[in-house]
Structure 1
Amino acid sequence: MRKLALSDEILLKVEKPARYIGNEVNSVKKDPRKVDVRFVMCFPDVYEIGMSHLGIQILYDMFNRREDVYCERVYSPWIDMDRILREEHIPLFTLESQLPVKDADFLGITIQYEMCYTNILQILDLSQIPLHAADRGENCPIVIGGGPCTYNPEPIAAFFDMFYIGEGETRYDELMDIYKENKASGKSRQDFLEQAAGLPGIYVPSFYDVLYHEDGTLKSMAPNNSHAPKRVEKQLVMDMEQVSYPEKPLVPYLKATQDRVVLEIQRGCIRGCRFCQAGMVYRPVRERSLEQLEQYAVNILENTGHDEISLSSLSSSDYSRLKELVYFLIEKFRDKDVNISLPSLRIDAFSLDVMSRVQDVKKSSLTFAPEAGSQRMRNVINKGLTEEDILNGSSEAFRGGWNKVKLYFMLGLPTETREDMEGIADLANKVAKEYYEAVPKEERQGRVQVNVSTSFFIPKPFTPLQWASMFTKEEYLAKARVVNEAIKSQLNHKSLKYNWHEADVSVLEGVLARGDRRVSKVILDAYRRGCIYDSWSECFDNEKWMEAFEAQGLDPAFYNLRERSLDELLPWDFIDTGVTKDFLKREWKRALEGIVSPNCRAQCQGCGVRKFGGGVCFENQD
């Protein structure tokens, strides 16, 4: 094993050398020669973003608790280091041991966002690992993907040996044991892939054949290997008390995007928003106990030195012990000036008492996500919020001492009208007005600031809106102009600030989200044209992407600009998330009719996840 020590001369040439040196607080050191399996965990984006990801922290801790496994990390080198590695012919290396990634047993890549796909190819390329799984030999690492994008892995299937569908705590130990046994007995890479394919949640793309109709739609997808199941079932942790949680998380040298302690309070969501993939695929809701969370909070803050703790979940307001947990944190850390961050709160569930206690520590802006400007559109997406809820929640926040609010909306939702778009500006104006009505003049902390952000709706697999069509770049920009003009016409326009997401990025993301295996040719072509860090506006080059589509004979319009038939075979239909396609179809029809479905606690909607057993969706049911 040859360590690749970076010289001071090289480190002085890059913008942030601390991205590449490792040795952070709580990082794990083992002798690579004394373990059976070396697993390199990769986040295909820059270090500061990757270090903010909770999933890698959880798996890093879980793997390294095993004496026979050494889990190390690698992140996408920034452009300056990328250039040096290529010029100096230095293979990409891990942070912990500085050993080449290509010498590991596994390269595990967490795939959080479609716009990181070219960075996956960068990681493989710089590691000197063949880009296509079919070209890898016996000495190459097993490249395995996980994370939310694996709920449609087809656009990147050609680059992966396997995918793990679901939550990593359930099957990885078995997978490591199978690999160890296969390695010790001198069996081949193919032997391991066949054994792995027999594990629930493991998808080996090479074991499936795909055929298409003449019109380009998917005709069939069938196993070509007896070890591969017809459907791959997602894996879930049902008892949150029985899985480990990192009480000594890694502390980055550089300021990470989210430089704080993250306390995961629950998984899943009861709300049933029709646009939200996470709310569907992570069902059912599974809570951690209050007692466990209190202990974790004390230990993690002590082991990291952070001065902020964030309560993580898809809908924090729905955690049944939220008030008790917040009160505990405030009282426990009052003298240490620890800030409590409460993301993912619903306006209608905001507690004025909790807010007033949080404000005693430190304030920041509050983020609300109405998602749509009109009640009609909120009903379409099943947001479950009324204008009264939003304004009452805003009023309580303003009385609690806040004067900065961020409002998030989507444009381009199914059935959207000009009135729905203008409703975004109208609602933002009403929120600003609420400040001046709720807070006496002598108590105001200056002018209220309402920052309005719109993204363009992208249909995601396994959501009721997965069949919806999208729009062209020009149509998206026209929608943003409608909102911008409406914002400027509002009475409180000086208190309102509006920004919108890049339209061309949204168009590409739509293709990558619902694409099939043919899209991999475009991704590879775009990478070879120089596309990388596509999620960074300063790096994104739409022209190169469009050239890649043309060169490969694929049209983005095929994937984006047609409403799919309910009978069409979708590229991701081979995955079983527990949520049935019949349920999704029923919710799609209700969306088009603007009918609201109750949340899981109020009334079971028969989505299908009962088969997993346990979870909040089974409470109060007959």
Structure 2
Amino acid sequence: MRKLALDDTILLKIEKPERYVGNEVNSVMKNPDEIDIRFAFAFPDVYEIGMSHLGLQILYHMFNERPDVWCERVYSPWNDLDQVMREKQIPLFALESQEPVRNFDFLGMTLQYEMCYTNILQILELSGIALHSEQRSEDEPIVIGGGPCTYNPEPLADFFDLFYIGEGEMVYDRLFDAYKANKKAGGSRRDFLLLAAGIPGIYVPSLYRAEYHADGTLASFLPLCEEAPEKVEKQLVMDFDAAPYPEAPVVPYLKATQDRVVLEIQRGCIRGCRFCQAGMVYRPLREKSLKTLEQAASALLKNTGYEEISLSSLSSSDYRELPELMDYLMEICPGSGVNISLPSLRIDAFSLDVMSKVQDVKKSSLTFAPEAGSQRMRDVINKGLTEEDILEGAGKAFEGGWNKVKLYFMLGLPGETEEDIKGIAWLCEKVAERYYEIPKEQRNGKCQITASSSFFVPKPFTPFQWASMNSREEFLAKARIVKEEVKAQLNQKSIRYNYHEADVSVLEGVLARGDRRLAPVIETAYKNGALFDAWSESFRPEAWSQAFVSCGIDPDFYTSRSRNTDELLPWDFISAGVSKDFLIREWEMAKKEKVTPNCRQKCAGCGARAYGGGVCHESQG
């Protein structure tokens, strides 16, 4: 019988002890004496956030399908337990076996958000694993990172033995087989790292050297041995129907952030928004067949007991068989009391018709993402959405009974003017006016428009990767302009405006485009008390500002400085499918305020067409 790592006296004193006991429905238990590899899969945030992450569930299922591997889950202990574990010297443990993470062969971490970087160091330190890869002994786990942040892994290079670039379903089997072979041959930790470097998609930071110009820009980035390739190619699943997918995912004891069945219908996007990293690096679009999705949906609902199913993709409206899939879901769900969630829809007549059938119109709100207030800025960012589209969609929604609308915008976009900024308030006013054009007897109460703006953060492998970023003061000044302009509108009482934390966005910008010189800053900030930076109540900006000063690093170098397209970027050693030539062309198109058609209208020659040995079907019409 399992012995819990935390005794009752501790569990009774901490918030949400269910986070740490494991043994949930569909969790996997194995006999450690009958396996060859133990893999601790960590999500550097709290349990509720990590349990909502589909990628972790997919790899947990895939790894545990192998009889020689036991994959267990690890999450960041919240501040209360973190303190207790340090005081009582309790090592961080995996949920399934409750055994210390340090005893495992691998510690894998999914890197979803830059503001979780200090939590990575928390996991390493609480596990008793050396923070720096070069200081790890032969008996410590191999530390590997994956996920979207690995498209620029350099700020974390000192802390990881390996990074996996791309989609996890592809080469982990080869990595595990190499580990077993090296172990059987009596090879060292370095021997394994050299073997791993030869596997496509695996990046070993210690096998590369970065050198810098006097002005701080990157001068060269070269491998130190023949085993390490000059270019690391992202890994891509081309046969999406055959890709592993959990039909019996782990069901948490407590309510997770996304407390529902998740059905991934496609991966990638045809839209080409110039600010969107996911839309670029997950190209080309790959769809699952209707038959595969029908089978998966039925199994997921049966094996979990959830009362809601959510369709997962970057743009659900672009799934070709969405009408047929919705017919099937509405056939199997209503009788069982299961709700259907439809995120990432473009608001058109079909979408509204479907949502009216699967949502309680009186309770739910519709979400639009215009991203910019003016048509000029929407053309700059290649949103592919006109003001007419927005107002027509809102009008149809209001006529269908909705009265609550959420509008998402960004501030600080390249080339933005004061008129573009005020355009956010003006667009909200036009949406409100559209509501009050409906006859009073047809309205569903008062109109409620919630406008939210995040602050633009340039990301690697986007056409805006060369753009300068606003300062905290500039962001806040722009938010004040919007706030004041909202107050000047006739329907101001129907409009509520809020915005993201500016200092968090600036730090995200530093880490997103940073290089290896940021590792000491992250470590110093962590030692200064930075932890759970993604949580407003835990974010400590002074811990970071002190770290930048003590490490002699100017954060403005990574944010406010614009780059030339011929500058060597820290992530240029990664081949991500989209070519640099394409990104440069799109950067120039943005400056000219010109729109590029989506992939189904016309192939833009992004480089993803034949990536991964497959063909981009979108380019064939």
TM tier, smaller: over 0.9
Contact 1:334 1:361 in 2 (8 A): no
Alignment match, 2:112: 112
Counterpart for residue 371 of structure 2: 371
The structure-2 alpha-carbon separation of the partners of 1:362 and 1:248, relative to structure 1 and needing over 3 Å to count, comes to farther
Alignment of 1:133-144 (within 5 A): 133-144=133-144
Asked whether the 8 Å contact 1:317–1:349 carries over to 2, the reply is no
Residue 17 (structure 2) aligns with: 17
Q: For residues 290 and 576 of structure 1, what CA distance do their matches in structure 2 show? A: 32
Partner of 1:507: 506
1:191 maps to: 191
Q: Deviations over 1:374-420 (max 9, x none)?
A: 00000000000000000111111222222211110000000000100
Counterpart code for 2:409: F
1:360 Cα deviation from its structure 2 partner: 6.4
Aligned position for 2:90: 90
Task: State the identity as a percent.
Answer: 69
Change (3 A) 1:349 1:165: farther
1:287 paired with 2:287, answer yes
Bigger mean CA offset, 213-222 vs 402-411 = 402-411
Partners of 1:469 and 1:282 in 2: CA distance: 24
After TM superposition, give the deviation of residue 483 of structure 1 in Å: 0.4
Contact 2:399 2:442 in 1 (8 A): no
Tell me, yes or no, if structure 1 residue 149 matches structure 2 residue 133.
no
1:615 to partner: Cα distance: 3.3
Structure 2 match to 1:395: 395
1:238–1:615 CA contact under 8 A, matched in 2: no
8 Å CA contact 1:4, 1:93 repeated in 2: no
- 1-side partners of 2:437 and 2:180: how far apart? 66
Q: How does 1:178-257 map to 2 (within 5 A)?
A: 178-257=178-257
Q: Residues 582-603 of structure 1: CA distance to partner in whole angstroms, max 9, x if unpaired?
A: 1100100110110100001100
Output one character per residue of 1:514-573: Cα deviation in whole Å (capped at 9) or x when no partner. Answer: 000001110000000010000001111111101100000000111111110111000000
Aligned 8 A contact 1:370 1:408 in 2: yes
Which digits, 9 at most, give the CA deviation of each residue in 1:244-293, with x for residues without a partner?
21000111111111101100000000000000000000000000001111
SS at match of 2:84: helix
CA distance in 2, matches of 1:353, 1:539: 42
Q: Could you tell me which residue of structure 1 aligns to residue 616 of structure 2?
A: 615
SS of the counterpart of 2:558? helix
SS at match of 1:486: helix
Question: Is the aligned partner of 1:558 residue 2:557?
Answer: yes
Q: Give the corresponding residue for 1:427.
A: 427
- SS, match of residue 347 in structure 1: coil
1:321-470 equivalences in 2 (<5 Å): 321-348=321-348, 350-359=350-359, 364-438=364-438, 440-470=439-469
Deviation at 1:3, TM superposition (A): 5.9
**Structure 2 residue aligned with 1:50:** 50
The 3-state SS of whatever aligns with 2:324 is: helix
> Following the alignment from structure 1 to structure 2, what is the Cα–Cα distance between the partners of residues 84 and 32?
28
Q: Residues of 2 paired with 1:297 and 1:345: CA distance?
A: 19
> Structure 1 stretch 3-12 or stretch 499-508: which is displaced more?
3-12
- Indicate conservation of the 8 Å contact 1:52/1:259, yes or no: yes
Distance in 2 between residues matched to 1:107 and 1:362, nearest whole Å: 46
Q: Secondary structure at the match of 1:351?
A: helix
Instruction: Tell me the SS of whatever aligns to 1:193.
Output: helix
Partner of 1:521: 520
Aligned match of 1:315: 315
Which stretch has the larger CA shift, 148-157 or 172-181?
Answer: 172-181
Deviation at 1:614, TM superposition (A): 2.4
Residues 198-231 of structure 1 deviation map (CA, whole Å, 9 limit, x = unaligned): 0110000000000000000000000002100000
**Contact preservation (8 Å) 1:143, 1:160:** yes
CA distance in 2, matches of 1:103, 1:135: 17
Normalized against structure 2, the TM-score is what? 0.98
Which stretch has the larger CA shift, 348-357 or 44-53?
A: 348-357
Moved more, 347-356 or 197-206: 347-356
Q: CA deviation at 1:180?
A: 1.1
Q: Is the 8 A contact 2:317 2:351 kept in 1?
A: no
Cα distance in 1 for partners of 2:395, 2:308 equals 26
Answer whether contact 1:348 1:385 (CA < 8 A) is retained.
Answer: no
Q: Tell me the SS of whatever aligns to 2:130.
A: coil
Q: 1:542 to 1:458 in 2, by over 3 A?
A: same
Structure 1 contact 359–401 (Cα < 8 Å) conserved: no
Work out whether residues 2 and 99 of structure 1, in 8 Å CA contact, stay in contact via their aligned partners in 2: no
TM-score, structure 1 as length reference: 0.98
User: Following the alignment from structure 1 to structure 2, what is the Cα–Cα distance between the partners of residues 135 and 400?
Assistant: 62
**Matched residue count:** 619
How far did 1:351 drift?
A: 3.2
Say which SS state the counterpart of residue 589 (structure 1) adopts: helix
The one-letter amino acid paired with 2:494 is: S
Residues 261, 224 of structure 1: CA spacing in aligned structure 2 closer, same or farther, 3 A cutoff? Answer: same
Which residue of structure 1 aligns with residue 478 of structure 2?
Answer: 479
Closer, same or farther: CA 367–488 of 1 in aligned 2, 3 Å: same
Q: Distance in 1 between matches of 2:277 and 2:130?
A: 32
C-alpha contact 1:233 1:576 (8 A) present in aligned 2? yes
Kept in 2, the 8 Å contact 1:526–1:545? The answer is yes
Counterpart Cα distance in 1 of 2:49 and 2:355: 29
Query: Closer, same or farther in 2 for the Cα pair 1:407/1:160, shift >3 Å?
Result: same
Matched letter for residue 195 of structure 2: Q
Contact 2:57–2:246 (8 Å) recurs in 1: yes
Rounded Cα–Cα distance in structure 2 between residues aligned with 1:573 and 1:13: 48
CA distance in 1, matches of 2:44, 2:260: 21
Q: Which structure 2 residue ranges, 5 or more long, are not aligned? A: none
Judge conservation of contact 1:73–1:94 (CA < 8 Å) in 2: yes
Aligned to 1:536: 535
**Unpaired segments ≥5 residues, structure 1:** none
Structure 1 residues 471 and 352, CA, compared in 2 at 3 Å: closer, same or farther? closer
Please, what is the CA RMSD of the aligned residues? 1.4
Residue in 2 that maps onto 1:549 = 548
Cα distance in structure 2, aligned partners of 1:358 and 1:253: 26
Helix, strand or coil: the match of 1:55? helix
CA contact (8 A) 2:14 2:80 kept: yes
Deviation at 1:2, TM superposition (A): 10
Other structure's SS at 1:408 match:
strand
Offset at 1:472? Answer: 1.3
Looking at structure 1, the residues matched to 349 and 157 of structure 2 have their Cα atoms a distance apart, in angstroms, of 41
Distance 2:184 2:3 in 1: 25
How far apart, in 2, do the equivalents of 1:349 and 1:14 lie? 49
- In the alignment, the residues of structure 2 paired with residue 376 and residue 526 of structure 1 have an alpha-carbon distance, to the nearest angstrom, of 40
Contact 1:18 1:254 (8 Å CA) reproduced:
yes
